[in-house]
Amino acid sequence: MNENRKILIIGVCIAVLGLAVWLAGRQFGWFDKNEVTTTGWDRSQAEKVMRQLCRAADSVGIDTTRYAFLASDTKKEFGEKFTDLLLELRFGQKPSRISYSKLPEKVDTTWAIAMLKKDEGRSALDSLRKTPVFGMYPALVNSYHQLRNNPSSDTLHLIRQTLNFYRYLNRFGYEKFLVVNIPAAELNIYDRTGKCLLPMQVIAGKKDSRTPFFTTYLTDIITYPYWNVPKSIAVDEILPKVQRNIDFLESQNLEVLDEKEQVVDPYSIDWASMTPENFTYRFRQASGCSNSLGLVKFNLTGPGAIYLHDTNARDLFTQTSDRWRSHGCMRVQKPVELANYLMGKQVLDQGFMDRCLIDQKPQTLSLPKPFPVFVVYNRADIDSQGKLRVYKDVYGLDS
């Protein structure tokens, strides 16, 4: 290959890479910055509107001290504060506890700049009033107003967080999406207006093995899944039990796999010599009624080994109010209903959970398209009866 050809290939690769980065930036909003121009609008008029916007923002729980403006601010600095406030009123801020984000966000900065240049923002409030709000948002705002007479109330801060989350949803254009709220131990599928289409309870992570907070996609459903035991559970919980009594493996339908994913005879292993450091095997629980994941698993595109699933202990939903007892994954109360809803048709009948066939292999059902999922920590919200509910701080995050 001559030198010119090498240079040509390198140039093409760089161009393709640059295009890919640009497209990704457009998709995920990397380049969607607030570039306010200083021409085409009058600052003195805009300052009057800014005061109105601050009052409106304050009424829905936004901390307006971030947008305080000074006479010494340049016109550009003032314009950036003005448009940033507009954007928070419409799109909220990303909740600080979300540690993993798979869903692309879109914040329309061109709208905010257009409002400023159109008439110094005088029509911005009208534009915001016409922006659809999530179903419980108005009732939550009313609860916020009622509690403001008691400024020391901790509930005010909790309501602000949930109001921000509902504004944050405006960054996404999904017709339907799934929300798991950990403090409420609830899973709900909503449409974009906030109408609840499918509610159910969940069992989430314990305080010392918390379910993380994230946005992601649900992509497929596994019937009769294996449980591939996470490394931490394998060495911390299962290995000591096997070392005490190897029959524990059979009692739990657990197989031992080597590094080549081959099933190994457990009696061929010197268990006494195994430690968390030298344990190179892994455990896999066979499919069936006793499987810890139950009969249905719902795969997510991250983070890590977190997913939704059925359970082999469904009586926990009726026999106890303790909904925070898992290692981090989320057990769902209505796996059949959830599977059928996500697939858009009946793929599992009501007898599926009762038949519990033996010697079944996992089967994958791919969703028609990835389904958006939000896992959040909202401690104050409006319940199905229209009442304000304040949930227990199960993870101690607000103490």
Catalytic residue among 13, 54, 309, 327: 309
In angstroms, the CA 382 to CA 390 distance is 9
Contact residues for 268 (Cβ-Cβ < 8 A; gap 6+): none
Question: Active-site residue 309, yes or no?
Answer: yes
355 within 8 A of 222, measured Cβ to Cβ? no
CB 112 within 8 A of CB 86: yes
Q: Which among 289, 327, 329, 356 is annotated as catalytic? A: 329
How many residues make up the chain in this entry? 399
- For the beta carbon of residue 200, count every other beta carbon within 10 angstroms: 17
Burial of 31 (0-12, 13-18, 19+ CB in 10 A): exposed
Packing angle of the helix pair 75-91, 109-119 (nearest 10 deg): 120
d(CA 80, CA 84): 6
| Nearest in space to 76 (alpha carbons), one of 114, 49, 36 | 36
- H helices of the chain, where? 3-28, 43-59, 75-91, 109-119, 124-130, 137-147, 154-168, 231-233, 239-244, 247-251, 316-319, 335-343, 352-355
- The catalytic residue positions are 309, 329
